[in-house]
Amino acid sequence: MRLAQNIKGVSKLAVALLILISFLLGATLSYIWTMGYYAPNEFNLPSQTSLTIEGMPAFFAENATYFNITVLNPSYSPTEAKIESIKVITSDGRVHIVDSASPPLPLTLAPGKSQIIQSFWNWGNYTGQTVDVYVLIADGSGPAVQVKIGPKVELDFFNIVFFNTTETSFYFNVTIQNAGTPPAKQDVDLLTVNVEGQTIPIGDGDVVPPLPQTIEPNTSLQFTCTWDWSTYQGKNAAITVSTVQGFTATSAETAIPSMP
């Protein structure tokens, strides 16, 4: 008698467990079916790869030859992203294509992965300006961001002397000042001197003191440059200098007098 009662109790418990399991299983399947129908509309998941730019591109005052940009292929992206190129549109309407980067482009990013891309483009002439940066990808939506470049490193010209009429027409003196002010107060390394499209060689004795030459903030250096200006007598000429850091400056045109 007792054995029959025990068997009957176990059967009732088993039936209750089966009912509970069936209920949970049915609820789970119903939830999955419902979310499968509504989730694409609720979350508006993209059908194509869509990169994002994390933060703002980083422009470093100590070097104007590159900037860093961090891109992310979100976890919800349906496919990997192939970054083909990066371009910058400056306030003058010019389009600048970044043709060198590290890691090199094209670059593939899997969903959920981010990457800092060092983009080599000389922005020294655009300091203080607002530019648009675009990341172009294949078969998807490429992100864009607007950023202001700064701060500016200023190089000024003082006491430009193209000639010494009592001696020779084969050299001139030029004084360059690093007029950097905070927060752009930093050393610059003068690399080249260019006169009317002609870059003066930096071999022995061509420029004294020899280049490259460091100019500290709020200081100036005078350089003697070997250049035959005899054919420019009576004409105007301008000097352009560049630094290792990628900054350039051009003097106002100055009249070159004639030899006596």
CATH number at residue 205: 2.60.40
Q: Does residue 211 surpass a pLDDT of 80?
A: yes
Query: Which pLDDT score, from 0 to 100, does residue 125 have?
Result: 82
Query: Which pLDDT score, from 0 to 100, does residue 216 have?
Result: 86
Whether residue 65 is contained in a domain is answered as yes
Whether residue 201 is contained in a domain is answered as yes
Give the strand pairing for 144-148 and 130-137: antiparallel
Q: Out of 130, 148, 166, pick the residue that ends a domain.
A: 148
Structure-model confidence comparison of residues 80 and 257, the more confident one: 80
Structure-model confidence comparison of residues 209 and 203, the more confident one: 209
State the SS3 of 205-233: CCEECCCCEEECCCEEEEEEEECCCHHHC
Q: Which amino acid is at 33?
A: W
Contact present, 49 and 78 (Cβ < 8 Å): yes
The number of folded domains in the chain is: 3
Structure-model confidence comparison of residues 1 and 25, the more confident one: 25
Structure-model confidence comparison of residues 9 and 185, the more confident one: 185
pLDDT tens, residue by residue, 129-184:
899 999 999 876 689 999 998 766 666 655 555 566 556 778 888 888 887 655 45
- What mean pLDDT is predicted for residues 71-95? 91
Contact present, 87 and 123 (Cβ < 8 Å): no
Q: 80 is written with which tokens?
A: 């990997």
Contact present, 97 and 87 (Cβ < 8 Å): yes
Structure-model confidence comparison of residues 44 and 245, the more confident one: 245
Query: Which pLDDT score, from 0 to 100, does residue 36 have?
Result: 54
Query: Which pLDDT score, from 0 to 100, does residue 244 have?
Result: 87
Select from 232, 256, 249, 258 the least CA-distant residue to 124.
249
Whether residue 260 is contained in a domain is answered as no
Query: Which pLDDT score, from 0 to 100, does residue 180 have?
Result: 63
Q: Out of 92, 117, 148, pick the residue that ends a domain.
A: 148
Q: Where are the beta strands (DSSP E) in 38-154?
A: 49-50, 52-53, 58-59, 66-73, 81-89, 95-98, 101-102, 107-109, 113-120, 130-137, 140-141, 144-148
Task: Calculate the average pLDDT of the chain.
Answer: 79
Residue matched to tokens 């039936």 = 15
Looking at the structure, tell me whether residues 34 and 117 fall in a common domain: no
Write out the residue range of the structural domain in which residue 236 sits: 155-255
Percent of the chain with pLDDT over 90: 25
